Structure 1
């Protein structure tokens, strides 16, 4: 039987392997407002729900990024706001030895997909704690959202005038 050992050059080669690591996932911001309470709580109508989701990326260093999912959930009864939830679920992600052209899709697809279950849970929890039936957000196709943003960026570059708000995705509930 022959014993195999790892030489120093092999160990150095391992440090060049691509790597993706979640450093931290955290709730960065969460607020709930009931601007028309308590009067609106007496109205027996079913609320209309609007959900907006956005993704924000901040480079912290060459290999470390913060990705934040930003959600706004608005419930209205008879055109008056029943409640408004604003949440920002974030994570710090580290990319090592990954080609630059692969990092952007990971920031726009993989990282939001990792964060979304935490965001959904936090939103359902705060709405429930406010005394309402929890709202369970629908699944999101972050790949489709990313492709939509790329298409908008291409069109914006061609027309040089699209506003930043056009990149938000509004989801039906």
Structure 2
């Protein structure tokens, strides 16, 4: 017999994880649309004909602690702007705020911020993708299937943007003090 069977059943020593490191627990308690708007500008203008769309997607994330212990609300704000490639005329505009309420335990404090803005949006994204597809189709356009979003890259870009803003702001008081 091998030691593998005793380790996998939990009777032997578990060498995969240290005993002192608690396992991260995350549960999605609720998810919902906070706000949504879809404007079919093409239909409002009465424009006809085929148009080659140029779609721009902006994503913003927000997270906040709730009053209940270990509960957080994560909000994904999406703005989808579709214009014609040839003339730049607006086809449609969609704004969506989709939120999830998460129960999170055993995440170290220094890792909580990236966890909330990377892992939680990953859980919400398939639902956001479905809503965008359904609403664009129901709005009279072909279904818009969003590509996967790299939430790690999005997080890093936001951290870098904040650091640059802080550096620029740190330079501003000296310039205004000399004037």
Instruction: Provide TM-score, normalisation by structure 1.
Output: 0.76
Pairwise CA RMSD: 1.9
Tell whether the 8 Å contact from 1:95 to 1:103 is kept in structure 2 after alignment: no
1:137-152 equivalences in 2 (<5 Å): 137-152=146-161
Question: Which residue pairs with 1:13 in the alignment?
Answer: none
* Inter-partner Cα distance in structure 1 for 2:169 and 2:46: 44
Matched residue SS, 2:56: strand
Q: Show structure 1 runs of 5+ residues with no match.
A: 1-15, 162-173
Pair 134,41 (structure 1): closer, same or farther in 2 beyond 3 Å: farther
Describe the superposition over 1:66-86 as per-residue Cα deviations: whole angstroms up to 9, x where unpaired. Answer: 111111111113222111111
Equivalent pair of 1:51/1:73 in contact (CA under 8 Å): yes
Aligned length: 146
For residue 95 of structure 1, report the CA deviation from its aligned partner: 2.0
| Structure with the larger RCO, 1 or 2 (CA within 8 Å, 6+ apart) | 1
> For residues 17 and 110 of structure 1, do their structure 2 counterparts lie closer, same or farther at Cα, with a shift above 3 Å needed?
closer
Alignment of 1:56-71 (within 5 A): 56-61=62-67, 63-71=70-78
2:33 corresponds to which residue? 27
Q: Normalization by structure 2: what TM-score?
A: 0.74
Which of 57, 64, 74 pairs up with 1:51? Answer: 57
Q: In 2, Cα distance between the equivalents of 1:124 and 1:72?
A: 13
Which protein is bigger by CA-based radius of gyration?
Answer: 2
Equivalent residue for 1:136?
145
Counterpart residue number, 1:124: 133
Q: Which residues of structure 2 form unaligned runs of 5+? A: 1-21, 171-179
**Could you tell me how far 1:17 is from its partner in structure 2?**
5.8
> What residue in structure 2 maps to residue 73 of structure 1?
80
Tell me, in whole angstroms, the C-alpha distance in 2 between the residues paired with 1:154 and 1:142: 18
Q: Does 1:85 align with 2:94?
A: yes
